[in-house]
Amino acid sequence: MAENNVVTFLPVLPNGELVGSAAGLLGAAGRLGSPVAVIVAAPGQGQAAAAAAGTFGAQRVYLAETPQTQSVLTAPALEAVAAAVGATGAEAVLVPNDVDGRDIAGRLAVRLPAAVAADAVGIARDAEGNVVHHSVYGSAYTTESAPTHGTLIVTLREGAVDERAQAAEPTVETLEVPEAGSAAAEITGFSENLQASTRPDLRSAATVVSGGRGLGSAEGFALAEQLADELGGGLGASRAAVDAGYAPNSYQVGQTGVTVSADLYIALGISGAVQHQAGMQSAKTIVAINKDPEAPIFDIADFGIVGDAFDVVPQLITRLKERAGGGS
């Protein structure tokens, strides 16, 4: 499988840095063949991202620098990915399962045409071809899918693949992005999220602490923040906490939010509705602190505490600090 090229779209942040999903995408691509990265960035911002893609295992990078990334939705990235697929004859195309990745995948699937494997948690290659693994219905089932024929397009769940490809010295080829081939929405503005978080990304963090409506207020939600920071973990929330304004949308864990891939998940003041469980029940160890002994979260918790989070968590933090400080 010498020349089995796997085209991998790597989104970049407004400052030109690669988004955190890059390492997992290239790791997954490496399982199928030779990772070929596609990077679309504003003029002057692509080279650093291309070099970073090499450290994550890209063998080749197609780089398109165009001011259109800031003014036209999807089309520049779509054209770049389509050009890379054309140039490499790729058997598979990987994009992150985020809004931009899905838009590229959807249009490309119709254009090629090609089958799409949605929300994949893993990919492998066997004698018959590429096989995609999914975790569906809130982790209640695992499934395997494959395309009948043709190129395979995969939207990969962020944080799901731990495998990393070996660093490479990529050849970087510049792509001229043609004018959008079809009608596209215009990007009329961008407002930066100023309080960029220093915490690990919720999707891929090894430890996640989430707060629910039980924390009672935005001030109360700070309890979850303190514990997350003490543990160096990501911060999540239930939909009720997001709806109540304790936490931003992007923190939502569950069926209509993020699916975490954590080793440790700690739920504070969260009842454990099925839709919440859908995003966290595959965590390796689940800890729940809830005042209500009947809360459904206890049915899936490895360690459950019936109690007030405002009593338990401060004591937990004190004890963790003691341990870190060399106490027993």
Partner 1 sequence: MKIAVLVKEVPDSYGERKLDTTTGLADRGASDRVIDEITARAVEAAVSYADSAQDAEVVLVTMGPESAESMLRKTLAMGADSACHISDEALTGADLGLSAEVLAAALRRIGFDLVIAGDVSSDGTGGLLPTMLAQRLGVAHLTSLDSAQISETEVSGERGTYGGTVSLRADLPAVVSVTERMPDPRFPGFKGIMSAKKKPLETLTAADLGVDAQADVPRSIMLSVTQAPARTAGTKVTDEGEAGTQLADYLAEKRLV
In angstroms, rounded to a whole number, what is the distance separating the alpha carbons of residues 78 and 88? 15
In angstroms, rounded to a whole number, what is the distance separating the alpha carbons of residues 286 and 278? 13
Residues making up the annotated binding site are: 213, 238-239, 252-256, 269-276, 290
φ/ψ of 243, rounded to 5, equals -60, -35
- Within 153-212, the residues that bind ligand FAD by CB under 6 A are 212
How big is the CA angle at 187 (ends 40 and 247), to the nearest 5 degrees?
90
Given CA atoms 175, 177, 181, 185 in this order, what sign does their dihedral have? Answer: positive
Q: Residue 270 binds what, of ligand FAD, partner 1, none (CB under 5 to 8 Å, by partner type)?
A: ligand FAD
Q: How far is the CB of 138 from ligand FAD (least distance, A)?
A: 9
Encoded one letter per residue, x for contact with ligand FAD by CB under 6 A and - for no contact, window 113-142 reads: ---xxx-----------------x------
Contact between 269 and ligand FAD per CB under 6 A: yes
Q: Which residue has the tokens 């989070």?
A: 309
Residues making up the annotated binding site for FAD are: 213, 238-239, 252-256, 269-276, 290
Number of residues near ligand FAD (by CB under 6 A): 33
List b or e across 158-181, with b for residues whose CB sees 16 or more CB atoms inside 10 angstroms: bbbbeeebeebebebeebebeeee
Q: Residue 305 binds what, of ligand FAD, partner 1, none (CB under 5 to 8 Å, by partner type)?
A: partner 1
In angstroms, rounded to a whole number, what is the distance separating the alpha carbons of residues 237 and 214? 11
Kindly give the pairing relationship between strand 152-156 and strand 171-174: unpaired
From the list 9-17, 82-90, 224-232, 234-242, the region that binds ligand FAD by CB under 6 A is 234-242
Encoded one letter per residue, x for contact with ligand FAD by CB under 6 A and - for no contact, window 17-56 reads: ----------------------------------------
Contact between 145 and ligand FAD per CB under 6 A: yes
Helix axes 46-55, 22-32, angle to 10 degrees: 50
The residues that touch ligand FAD, with contacts defined as CB under 6 A, are 116-118, 136, 145, 212-214, 238-241, 252-257, 269-271, 273, 275-276, 279, 289-292, 295, 308-310
